[in-house]
Each structure stands twice: as structure tokens, then as C-alpha cells.
Structure 1
């Protein structure tokens, strides 16, 4: 027969241990919706900034999972069309939106890009997740007005929709004096050595919202 006093002492000990440990950590699941800059185009699998971010989260935010839904060549229209299924299937807590570069390469109207990104942000919010908008810039050969307006679009939209944003994914890479040494031959896609810098750039913003 179990001694009631000993049993109560045992239960008290379990309660004390449970109380000291606290509640289980909240589930965090990050989905990245991007283009070739996030899809490891032209570099070894596992060396891209999204994979590096996943490893960092494993160390610094245990229990956080990452799903990379990036597709090379994708536009904001493409991201917008496939986002609803991702939200349903993945049930993310955070969605990183890294799109817009291919819109600019195709010369699409900025109003088109802005509207697609806005609708993506609102869809993420409606699903109960947090959106983080990742900004991009284009070379000046697109014309100074288009270049400036495109770069400003991301910050303006983030402020209007009150979401976190990364001003420029390629900060510390594309603005280097020897920028060509950080890019593949097409001068669009970064080399593998640039991706740790890109990861740090995203992490500086994302860590505040985890």
C-alpha cells in the first residue's frame, strides 16, 4: 500500500518541478515565400540564406521550424496566387515575403507589385500570422525614377500595413565597393559567400518578432 504522506510529497515535488519549468514554448513556424534569391539558385543546396536562417533558429529559438516555399522566377502575382494554399497547409506563425525583384526585371507597373504585396500581407494577417516584408532594389539602369520608387515601395507598404520589414535583402552585398565579386556571372544572383550576410540582415529584424 502506498504511504499517503510519501505520495503527497512526491506529487508536491512534481508540481514544483513543473512550475519551475513553466509552460511549453509556443509553436513557431516560419514560411518563406520568395524567388530565386531565396531558392538557392546557382549555389549548393543547403548554403542559401533560408537554410542558414533555419540552422540559426535551431540554435537560438529551439522548436522553430522553417519551410522554404521559394520558387526561382516567381513574381508577386505568383506568390499571391499560391499563398492561400500555403497558409492552409503550413499554418505558419510568421511569413517572410521576399518578392518583387522579378516584377522589376519584367518592367511591371509598381502599382501591380504594391497591390499584390498588400494582398499577401493581409492574407497572412487574416490567417493569424505575422508578415515580414523583405525589400529589394534594382540597378540604376532601369531609370532613376523607377529605381527610387521601387526601393521606396517596400517601406511605404510596411508602414501603411504596420508590418515588419527588411529594407534591403542584399545590404552589405550589392552595395560593396567590389560588388561584382559577390555575384554570379549574371550579376543578379549572389554567390554562396553572400548568403551569410543576407541571413544576418533578415535575422536582425526577424528575431524581434519571435
Structure 2
């Protein structure tokens, strides 16, 4: 019996030791806007990744309203506290809604990636698309910025989940910007399917 318990303990310890940590650095789209945090898609992501044979502990470091600049100021402490193996950067939507210069946003995203690499974590970028509030030229330039950064920095980029959610009115809040709790399980599955091969 003692030997059996020892084997169980060793197996459990090995499973924990072999698991990796993913930090999600995002804004309200990841923070669970107007819902309990446990219903937000990052809280559901670990279970979704298990379906792809990935044992990942997910830390949600997202705050509603954050810009890339806010994320940059918070990232060093999050890296020190959680020591993640991967950082998924889901930021930029608030920069775009405020009309920030794409060059400024690009520089800040590059800084986020650089700091992540310096901590020996692997950065992963999420594509962001913004509404054409400031014209099609601005929104296109903003959208095209993400794959350029990913290519320059030689890091993975995954698709923007909101493009698939916004077409379902029953999944969107009345503000037209944020997914409802009902959409979160689908988002977690979508992100997991896009993400697992990079982990």
C-alpha cells in the first residue's frame, strides 16, 4: 500500500513538474468583462488545451481597459511573479479605439515581446482587428501591423477570435464590443486549437 501511494505521489509530482505556465496578457476581451473571472475564456483554456494533450497552467493577467502601454508597465512584475513559459499578448484594441499611432503601438508591442524573451519565456501574439472608427486606412494599417511584428520578431501569431464571435448577435453584449459569458467556452476552444501547436 505504501509503495502504491509513493507511485501515485511520484506520478502526480511529475505531472505538475512537466506542466508549463501560460500568461495571458490582455484587456477586457480576456479579463471577463461584466462576468465572473472564472467564466472568462482564459479560465477555461487549460481544459480546452488538455483535449490537445497539452498540460498548461493558465494565468490570466488581463485587465479591462488596458492599452499596450498599460501592459508594458505591468508585464515585468507578472513575469517575476508567475515565471511563465509562454506569454500570449492580446493587446492593442484599446489603443486602436483611442486612435493611437500604429507606429507607437508597434513599438510598444515590440517592447512587450522583447521583455518576454529576456525572461526566457516564449511570446505569442494575437492578431487584433479594430472597428473602422478612424477610417478604413487606419484600421487596415492597424491590422497589418501584427503579422509584420510577428515576422520581424520570429514569433507565432494566432487569429483574432472576436471576428468569429461578433457575427453572432446572441453571443455579443449590448455594447457590440464584448462577448457574453455564453461565448466564452467557444472562444477557449478556438484559442486552444490555434495555440496548442505553439506550446
TM range, normalised to the smaller chain?
0.7 to 0.9
Gaps of 5+ in 1: 1-16
TM-score, normalised on structure 2? 0.85
- State the distance in 1 between where 2:69 and 2:97 align: 14
Superposition CA RMSD, Å: 2.1
Q: How many residues align?
A: 186
Show the counterpart of 2:177.
188
- From 166, 178, 197, the equivalent of 2:186 is 197
Gaps of 5+ in 2: 1-6
Task: Quote the offset at 1:58 in angstroms.
Answer: 5.2
Show the counterpart of 1:55.
47
- From 156, 160, 164, the equivalent of 1:172 is 164
For residues 14-48 of structure 1, give each alpha carbon's deviation from its aligned partner in whole angstroms, at most 9, with x where no partner exists.
Answer: xxx9xxx9xx4634011111001111002243221
Task: Quote the offset at 1:74 in angstroms.
Answer: 0.5
Q: Is the 8 A contact 2:41 2:188 kept in 1?
A: yes
Kindly indicate which of the two structures has a greater share of residues assigned to helix.
Answer: 2
Q: Is the 8 A contact 1:171 1:198 kept in 2?
A: no
Matches within 5 A, 1:31-46: 31-46=23-38
TM-score, normalised on structure 1? 0.81
- Poorly superposed stretches of 4+, deviation over 2 Å: 24-27, 54-62, 179-182
